[in-house]
Each structure stands twice: as structure tokens, then as C-alpha cells.
Amino acid sequence: MEREKIDPARLAFDIDGVVADTMHLFLDIAREEFGISEFGYEDITSYELEDCLGLDGETIKKIVIRLLDTDSTAALVPISGAVDVLTRIGERHTPLFFVTARPELEAIEAWMQKTLPLTPENIDVVATGAFEAKTDVLLSRGITWFVEDRLETCFMLEEAGINPILFRQPWNRKEHPFPEVGSWKELADMIRF
């Protein structure tokens, strides 16, 4: 039996690792500004970067701070297919709703508005500052489906009654019960347009 398609009005998205190719930017900054080039994308097997990259926490913190600033956000690129699918959804349902655990809203909201060919009022971004805060924001908006790349967050979402869709990445390759997608095309196939 085929799964019922997802109503886009009940769907929201994480940004980093789902819409934005943040980990490639992390690697670019590590290489270009810190001279660190001994690992690649597939080596990022844990969301806790200290656990998989062999870098000290202070170096990771410095790279992440650079990643979050406005200059680096300008170099951030979308994950393949994200703009096309989000535009397609945005032509039928707005505002598109995004919830990020980033601590600051301005840089990522500006990036989303620059990246998506929609008017700013049709792009709604909330920065929670913590993964744990996503569920309350989503529940307050009546969201029942959320696309997320952090597996631990998916378990929290499910516990709160929100259906997570795991966006497949090297850092979330543990056993789990959630539907997952490996591309925006796969995600589009799940949505009712």
C-alpha cells in the first residue's frame, strides 16, 4: 500500500544538512583558513565532529564560528535539488517554514531569501538556538512532518508526535525507524503537489 502524500502546509524543513550544504562549507573553511585537509565529507560520520575528525574542540569551535558568520554564509550553497523542490512547493503553498538550531537568525535568513526565488514574506525562518527547542516551535505551528538530518533530533520529534523524515547524510547512518530520503527528488515524491 502506498503511503499517503504529505500536505505541504503541514511540512517544515531544517536548513543545515537539508537545504544548505553546510558540511562542505565546514570542510572548505577548515582547508582554506586553517590548513586542515586530511578528511573529507564521508569522514563526517557523527554530528559530534570531535568524535569523527580527530580535531580538538577549540579548532572545531573556531571553524563553526567562521561558518556562521555573514562572510562564510555568502559562500554557502544549497544541496542539489533543494531550490527546485522548495520553489515548486512555494508556488502552491506559502510561507515555506524552516526551523534551524542556529543561534542567530539574520545570516541564514538572508541566505534563504537570496537562495530561493520567493518573496521574503513567503519564507519563514525560525532560529531556536538549540535542537531541543525545535519541537515546541513546530507544534505551535501545527507542523506534523519535518525534514531533518540529525538523527537524535528525529527521535525527539517523534516523541512529540511530529513525523520526522531523515535526510540521509554520512553522520546519520545508524539504525532508525524513520522514513528517509537521499535526495530532494526522493522528498518531492512524498509530497502532495
Binned at pLDDT 50, 70 and 90, residue 71 comes out as confident
Looking at the whole model, is its pTM more than 0.75? Answer: yes
Lowest mean pLDDT among 69-73, 82-86, 94-98, 164-168: 69-73
Q: Is CATH 3.30.2420.10 the classification given to domain 8-20+78-188?
A: no
**pLDDT tens, position by position, 24-35:** 999 999 999 999
Of the CA atoms within 13 Å of residue 39, those in its CB half-sphere come to 18
What is the arithmetic mean of pLDDT over 92-108? 95
Position 93, amino acid: H
Of the CA atoms within 13 Å of residue 12, those in its CB half-sphere come to 23
**CA gap 3, 76 in Å, rounded:** 34
What is the arithmetic mean of pLDDT over 48-65? 93
1 pLDDT more than 70: no
Helix axes 22-34, 57-68, angle to 10 degrees: 110
pLDDT at 2 (0 to 100):
59
